[in-house]
Amino acid sequence: MIIDMPDTTTNAVSKRLDSLRDEGGAVALGRVLTLVVVALEADIESAVSAANQASHEHPCRVVVVAPAPAGAKAGRLDAEIRVGGDAGASEVIVLRCAEPLEEHTDTLVMPLLLSDAPIVVWWPTGGPLDPTADALGAMAQRRITDTTTAEDPVAMLAGLATSFAEGDTDLAWARVTLWRGLIAAALDQPPYEPVQAVRVEGEAGHTSLDLLAAWLGLKLRCPATVVRTPGSDAITRVVLERRGGDIVMDRPDGRVVTITEPGKPERHMALPIRSLSEALIEELRRLDPDEIYGQVIGKGLARVSTVSAGAEAEGAR
């Protein structure tokens, strides 16, 4: 069910939610967090869809804040309440606000926050370079950016590294969780040789490459290189260089990874590119600071070198 509330206030929206709860039962008592989504109009439906899917594992109240359409009256607030089948296991409130309300989004959403529940803020498109300096980010226990959707993903990741604070994270980090597990499992097998260098190859603007390479370089204490290949999909290849022979993990199709290493049969494993909802679910599983991400972005990222696929091929001649 979708309820439209044009030209309203958040206090009126809060009262309408209370009446809906009285009519349908105390559904909000099982909510574990408030997820505030700062979106553009074009992102609203995809963000709500991902949040709805995540809500089945993390029941929450979703508050989407977006700018009002061009030409909207100053100070106007249009709201939308989605419950039942239109909201998954959550309650969704969409707020479209015109200036000057856009400058005070923290006070705008306050009446809609669940009492005594953690606050998570998510920016589906990029996000601020300093999430804790943002009005909504300052209220939150967790702040989720997505550098892969930024205009300049690599530059944004570098900016986030300089402003990192406990509670910050990025969906590009969640997208490498399965890769991290696969690599750890491969290195946990004999002959236990030290890794001399690592190379991560893939999509030119995909910051998951940088974070995976930074994690590997930091944990294995070896040089780490990112090779950017235009036209590829996410991470396509990881090479762990060892004296006795390299471990090579190839995923050219974005679905199945082929693992080859000396003296062992070739192995194939399903490793599909993670969807937006899967990455969001991953980040909502923990509301405490992610210390490993902090180390990777704060220390490991600066040690990663980057080359283009063309430059690497030229250097190999």
Model pTM?
0.92
Confirm if 131 and 139 have CB atoms less than 8 A apart.
no
**Residue 302's Cα: distance from chain center in Å?**
21
Q: What is the pLDDT along the chain (317 residues), one digit of tens a residue?
A: 889 999 999 999 999 988 887 776 545 456 789 999 999 999 999 999 999 999 888 889 999 999 999 888 999 999 999 987 766 667 899 999 999 998 899 999 999 999 889 999 999 998 999 999 999 999 999 999 999 999 999 999 999 999 999 999 999 999 999 999 999 999 999 889 999 999 999 999 899 999 999 999 999 999 999 999 998 999 999 999 999 999 999 999 999 999 999 999 999 999 999 999 999 999 999 888 999 999 999 999 999 999 987 655 455 44
Say how many C-beta atoms besides its own lie within 10 A of residue 266's C-beta. 10
147, 207 Cβ separation under 8 angstroms: yes
pLDDT at res. 275: 95
| Distance (Å, whole) CA 158 – CA 166 | 16
Q: What is the pLDDT of residues 149-159, one digit of tens each?
A: 999 999 999 99
The two tokens of residue 243 are: 């004296």
Handedness of CA 297, 120, 81, 65 (dihedral sign): negative
pLDDT of residue 46: 96
Place of tokens 């804790």: 132
SS (H, E, C) 215-282: HHHHHHCCCEEEEEECCCCCEEEEEEEECCCCEEEECCCCCEEEEECCCCCCEEEECCCCCHHHHHHH
